[in-house]
A and B are shown apart, each in its own frame.
Chain A
Amino acid sequence: MSSPKVLILRAPGINCERETHFAFQRAGGAPDYLHIQQLLAKPDALDGYRVLAVPGGFSYGDDISSGRVLAQEMKSRLGDRVLRFVERGGLVLGICNGFQVLVRLGLLPCTQNRLEEEVTLTHNLSNHYECRWVTLRTQKSRCVFLPAGLTLRWPAAHGEGRLVARDAAMQKRLLEDGYAVALYVDEHGKPTEQYPANPNGAPLGMAGLTNHSGRVLGVMPHPDRSFLPTHMPDWRRTMLDRGSLPEDGDGMVVFREMVRVAKAES
């Protein structure tokens, strides 16, 4: 079985492309970089890939609002090609700024299978950027690759990460209908809206979303900064307690599972 091809999208201000590339490679994928300029010039290039990854960063400076300008560019110039990519069996990952782009594009949560903004990722209640490790609990969800019931520690690093739906009813539906894939949890493992376990104040503790078909994943915290054992914040204590380091850090599961599913489906 050949390695599934992964498109790592580049754009002005995207800055996590190298670690995302490395993580997919480590998981057995075959990643390529493609600059948005190149993709816009040849949109058919998308068809050659099994996975599209939109890495983190500050696309176009996050001017106007985070991810807005890149999302607008993709919406105006690519139309619903990304939606069709998903319908044809592609998988999509958006991390941090990539998640913001996918939400503005309307690809997440995409409950009606059309590109429409149903939720937003907006300013943290603290009104500033913050970099800290958080604990996530993955939910029973529509996502076809991220297993439920995992407790994961990933670093969050954002200023606009508060996942807010139009109203409270919609926010609740995201959880009940299996769109919310991961929640911020406190030290007792309970979903939380309290700072700092929930770094941005997202209602119901929502940290990530999938779409109606479960083939698109968007997360605010970074699996691309937690895939090696030495990425983990307290790995020295782990090494001391276990006598050795584990093979992976907590973020690796995302890349392994996406590559596994892409391989299995091809």
Chain B
Amino acid sequence: MQAWRIDVLVRPEHHDPMGRSALRALRTAGVEGITDVRSRRGYLLAAELPEAQVRSFARAVLCDPVIDQFVVHAPECTAQEPLPGTHMVAVVPRAGVTDPVAHSVQKALADMGLPAVAAGTYKGFDVQGTTDGPRLLQAARRALANDVVQDVLLDALPAGLPVAAARTDLAVHPIPLAHLDTAGLEKLSKDGGLALDGVEMTVIQKHFQALGRAPTRMELETLAQTWSEHCKHKTLTGNVRFEGRLIENLLKSTIARVTHTLNRDFCVSVFVDNAGIVKFDDEHSVCIKVETHNRPSAIEPFGGAGTGVGGVIRDVLGTGLGARPIANTDVFCFAPPDLTPAQLPQGCMHPLSLLKGVVSGVRDYGNPMGIPTVNGSVHFDENFVGNPLVYVGNVGILPTARAHKQARTGDVILALGGRTGRDGIHGATFSSLELHTDSEKVSSGAVQIGDPITERKAMDAVMRLCDEDLFTAITDCGAGGFSSAVGEMSEGLGAVVELGDAPLKYAGLSPWEVWISEAQERMVLAVPEAKLARALQVCREEACEAFVLGRFTADNRLVVKFQGAVHADLDLHFLHKGLPSRVRDAVYVAPQLSEPALPAETDLAGALRAVMSDYGVCSKEWIVRQYDHEVQAASAGKPLCGVKEDGPADAAVLAPKLGSRRGVLLANGLNPRYSRIDPAAMAECALDEAMRNIVAAGGDPDYTVVLDNYCWGNTRDPQALGELVRATEALCDLALQYRTPFVSGKDSLHNEFRAGDRTIRIPGCILVTAMSIVPDIARTLTTDCKRPGSLLVLVGATKDELGGSVYYKTKGQLGRNAPRVDKQSAHATLRAVHRAIGARAVLSAHDLSEGGLGAAAVEMAIGGKLGVTLDLQKVVAPAGLRPERLLFSESQSRFLLEVPPDRLADLAANLAGVPYAVVGEVTKAPNVVIRNGGAPLCAVPVADLEAAWKRPLDLDQTLVAGGAK
């Protein structure tokens, strides 16, 4: 479609940060000869709008009259002659990719009383200097765009607005299966992207044989979505043969059993809803959910991470009878950011590009939603190349009286929020396959771009529908779209759906596509007939689109129609219970590893500097500051703390009810590297770390709940499954000791990347997220040292446990002695430290994790802008451990506490029975001084270590250094 093209430019006398940032990106990508880049914000308006109106609209709305100017290109103008010595790069969204700005342009046209013609946007860059055009184009595809979702043009204007394909195939499409053998069924599944195996396909074949008909395309798609690993967790809910035992329903007999055995009274709703619900006070509960969005993020990190955030927010919004989201948390795993191009397998994005894309994706979804991102962590391991992990979590608050939902026969199915497009078709089944070199090409349909304001409108509408009690059940549209949402809600009831009224983003969708589309920002509600008119009115007032999708029935059938024609008629019992239960074999063979024979450390200061600047340990301030952690005004413990707000916090502290001091603490634990040695160690340490973080910040270990989020390799391999079972059993044993129930969890399996004949499998990871309720946030702590003269008390025993440690990593070693948790004493330690904090014997506290005692002490000093001394001889440890081992061992269940000298007796009383020692003190002189008895082994200025700690991921500085103007 022909269109006017309007370029808006910052006038030359003003700064152009977008152009400058493009300049850095191109230089970092290795393009030489560029002297400057200036940016253009481009808009497309359909040619039917008269030129005078185009100009007045550009002047009034598109252009900032204070600093901008604009150029209008007529629709018939095809070529753009760049200025001499300049190349022009245009970045244009591909057809079908969500372009939220275009909708706002149309709204602004209408507000001005102009016709709301079709509109679009693009970005432009005038690249000055003697640069080779084709080289520039190639670099721009990565540095300025992502060619999965954007076209990049060199010295040309976008041709016009995309015209949606008019092809609409409304036929029902029966798919005959009866004649196929297993190989034929498997081929059908593979060609159709259904991700069902031969056994599952055979069950479907038999079901329809008995009915005497072929399944329709929509029925097959519905079964594939519902039975996908993503939706059904068939591995974790399956049966496993392991070490001579048959474990029936792995999840039920491990994770869920812990929760049911403990039977804690603060658990309001667990494992039945979108999120786990926990009692907050007499009136309210809080709920929490953590998800992964790994596959989409590997291909399109910005859209993938953003829609991950959007998805988990909808999970919470759809919990109980609607919860108000109050906090985001996110945890990422990448390959090391300093990977050389030669180390990067074909088809992978560079980890630094992934990191930047993921961070901006979380930022540009979470911030506009008005939900603070308060907690997170980032981890690095070579095997995350090609398959990064993106965990996103959300916490919500709701009245406890509204914690349970039940749709009723006769209720109207109301869908609200965003429109349906072709985005994300086959997302659920895609996430159940492994990634490979060509994933970018074949799977781009599974990538979605978010539109947070549409979701915000949906959230505002749902909150008002809650206030007026206008619905009986609610859920989000996630993987599988309408098919999963309606399928789940109608279980035990039945439903009749009419898809013909669904508002679409563009024409051309087939009925089955509307049904399984994973277009974002949509919620599904059950609304009693009598409340429908009011519900629709509320949605209109909140500018949120809503329509009637169908009605709940009583015949336990899921009937889906399009303009009256029946496209699916499924028995809900078969849909939900027909998936055959499987038995998988699991084995565990421990890897052959040994401890490295390292010479005694001769440069302790250098070793400390190296540990502090490890990517896993170093400051994440560049990331943290891009997230809004203050919105909603609930923040009482920020991600960065101390006199200059740059010390790392152990847990986020929120007071979600304004005016009340009752609080929620949020923390997490994960260490993928231990998994390379022993998945059981990884699992235990994740739980212990999450609990330590909570306790160090002042949380009560006995009023804490946890979530388990698995990311694993291909569990069809018995060894991978064996590792998973081993990790799970270790995790559950420890959770029973701690009396911490699991309230929610999720798994993402098949996290592997196939590069040619090489398969790169991620280290098995369980992220443990912990949430604790505190009666008064005034009793919570931060990690920064408060007062010179305080004593530093190390709680817990230090062992020779450097396997998988950061210290070994800085020496290029893995080792064998991964830390294990002492189940007999660990719970007592958590409780004792909590008691000591309650007795006000502690001014600041920090848990010991990656980098051990050394990293913890330095971080406390950085936060407080004070010095610390440590005498390693005082540390409770086996005799003969060398100083560097005492300093960098990553033994679990340890804390470093700052204690006023006059409170030491109180501390001692509360720590009875737990190993601890006074190991140093806080000093006014800002140095880190370490001795082992005798004379100092090293004395390093804190500022020196702070610089080493801050530099590695300060990406603005890194980029400036790489390409200063």
Q: How far is the CA of A76 from the CA of B782 in the complex (A)?
A: 50
Residue of B nearest to A22 (CB): B658
Q: Which residue of B lies closest to A118 (CB)?
A: B66
Once A119-B66, A131-B627 are accepted as A-B contacts, the answer to whether A228 and B633 lie under 8 Å apart by CB is yes
* Nearest chain A residue, comparing its CB with the CB of B21: A127
Q: Does A157 contact B (CB under 8 A)?
A: yes
B786-A240 in contact (CB<8A): yes
Given A225-B631, A233-B638 in contact, is the A124-B17 Cβ separation under 8 Å? yes
| Residues of B with C-beta under 8 A to A83 | none
Residues of A within 8 A of B542 (CB): 12, 35
Query: Which of chain B's residues have a CB closer than 8 A to the CB of A13?
Result: 368, 453, 456
Closest chain A CB from B625 CB (angstroms): 5
Least distance between A135 CB and chain B CB atoms (Å)? 12
Specify which chain A residues have a CB less than 8 angstroms from the CB of B369 in the assembled complex. Answer: 15
Q: Which residues of A contact B15 (CB under 8 A)?
A: 125, 162, 201
In this complex, the interface size class of chain A, counting residues with CB under 8 Å from chain B, is 35 or more
Query: Does B633 contact A58, Cβ atoms closer than 8 Å?
Result: no
Residues of B with C-beta under 8 A to A94: none
The reply to whether B631 and A127 form a contact with Cβ atoms under 8 Å apart is no
Residues on the B chain within 8 Å of A12, using CB: 453, 456-457, 460, 542-543
B112 within 8 A of A: yes
Contact B64 A131 (CB under 8 A): no
Determine whether A117 belongs to the interface, using a CB cutoff of 8 Å to chain B: yes
B843 interface hit (Cβ, 8 Å) = yes
Contact A61 B453 (CB under 8 A): yes
Residues of A contacting B456 in the complex (Cβ-Cβ under 8 angstroms): 12-13, 15, 58
Q: Which residues of A contact B451 (CB under 8 A)?
A: 61
Contact at B633–A224, with CB atoms within 8 Å? yes
Contact A245 B368 (CB under 8 A): no
The docked-state distance in angstroms from the alpha carbon of A16 to that of B100 is 22
Instruction: Say yes or no: A35-B541 contact (C-beta < 8 A), given A57-B370, A58-B452, A130-B626.
Output: yes
Q: Which residue of A lies closest to B105 (CB)?
A: A64
Which residues of chain B come closer than 8 Å to A73, judged between CB atoms?
107-108, 111
Q: Are the CB atoms of A38 and B61 closer together than 8 Å?
A: no
Q: A117, B642: Cβ atoms under 8 Å? A: no
Please give me the residue from chain B that is nearest to A35 by CB atom: B541
State in angstroms the CA–CA spacing of A237 and B637 once bound together: 12
Q: Mark B629-653, 1 if CB is under 8 A from A, else 0.
A: 1111101101001110100000000
For A68, what are the chain B residues with a Cβ–Cβ distance below 8 Å?
A: 61, 108
Residues of A within 8 A of B631 (CB): 15-16, 19, 56, 157, 225
Please tell me which one of the listed residues A61, A155, A162, A233 contacts residue B368 in the complex, with CB atoms under 8 A apart. A61
Please encode chain A, from 163 to 201, with 1 for each CB lying within 8 Å of some chain B CB and 0 for all others.
011100000000000000000000000000000000001
**Is B645 touching A76 in the complex (CB atoms < 8 A)?**
no
Interface status of B778 (Cβ within 8 A of chain A): yes
Interface SS majority for chain A: mixed
Q: Is B113 engaged at the interface, CB distance under 8 Å to the other chain?
A: yes
Q: Which of B108-128 contact A (CB under 8 A)?
A: 108, 111-113
Contacts of B21 in A (CB 8 A): 127
Contact of B778 among A127, A133, A239 (CB under 8 A): A239
A132 within 8 A of B: yes
What number of B residues sit within 8 Å (CB to CB) of A?
A: 67
A259–chain B nearest beta-carbon distance, Å: 17
0/1 interface trace, chain B 539-573, chain A, CB 8 Å (1 if under): 00111000000000000000000000000000000
Q: Across the interface, name the chain A residue whose C-beta is closest to B645.
A: A233
When A65-B64, A127-B21, A128-B626 are in contact, do A22 and B633 touch as well, CB less than 8 Å? yes
Closest residue of chain B to A166, judged by CB?
B66
* A231 interfacial contact with B, CB 8 Å: yes
Given A12-B543, A129-B363, are A155 and B453 neighbors across the interface (CB < 8 Å)? no
Min CB gap B616→A, angstroms: 23
Verify if A50 is at the interface (C-beta below 8 Å from B).
Answer: no
* Residue A111 interfacial (CB < 8 Å): no
Residues of B within 8 A of A16 (CB): 370, 631-633
Q: Which residues of B contact A77 (CB under 8 A)?
A: 111
For A72, list chain B residues within 8 Å (CB).
Answer: 60-61, 108, 111-112
Residue A32 at the chain B interface, CB threshold 8 Å: no
Q: Are A245 and B17 in contact (CB under 8 A)?
A: no
The answer to whether A19 and B632 have CB atoms under 8 Å apart is yes
A162 to B20 CA separation, bound complex (whole angstroms): 16
Say yes or no: is A46 at the interface (Cβ < 8 Å to chain B): no
Chain A residues within 8 Å of B625, by CB: 130-132
Interface digits, B443-479 against A, CB 8 Å rule (1 contact, 0 not)?
0000000011100110010000000000000000000
CA distance A215 to B543 in the complex (A): 31
Q: A123-B17, A126-B17 are in contact. Are A230 and B661 (CB under 8 A)?
A: yes
Residue B163 at the chain A interface, CB threshold 8 Å: no
In the complex, what's the smallest C-beta–C-beta distance from A165 to chain B, in angstroms? 7
Q: Which of A10, A120, A225, A245 meets B630, CB within 8 Å?
A: A225
Q: Please determine whether B66 and A165 come into contact, CB atoms closer than 8 angstroms.
A: yes
Contacts of A57 in B (CB 8 A): 368, 370
Task: Tell me, in angstroms, the Cα distance from A125 to B956 when the chains sit together.
Answer: 11
B645, A234: Cβ atoms closer than 8 Å:
yes
A245 CB, min distance to chain B CBs, angstroms: 7
Least Cβ–Cβ distance between A152 and chain B, in angstroms:
15
Contact across chains for B368 and A37 when beta carbons are under 8 A apart:
no
Q: Give, as a whole number of angstroms, the nearest-CB distance from A78 to chain B.
A: 11
Chain A residues, Cβ within 8 Å of B67:
120, 122, 164, 166
Given contacts A22-B633, A22-B659, A231-B636, contact A131 B628 (CB under 8 A): yes
Selected A-B contacts with CB under 8 Å, 18 pairs? A19-B658, A58-B368, A58-B370, A63-B100, A68-B61, A69-B111, A122-B67, A123-B17, A128-B363, A129-B367, A131-B625, A131-B628, A132-B645, A157-B628, A224-B633, A230-B661, A235-B636, A240-B786
Q: What 10 A-B pairs are tightest by C-beta distance, nearest first? A: A15-B370, A63-B104, A19-B633, A127-B17, A61-B453, A58-B368, A120-B66, A127-B21, A63-B101, A123-B17
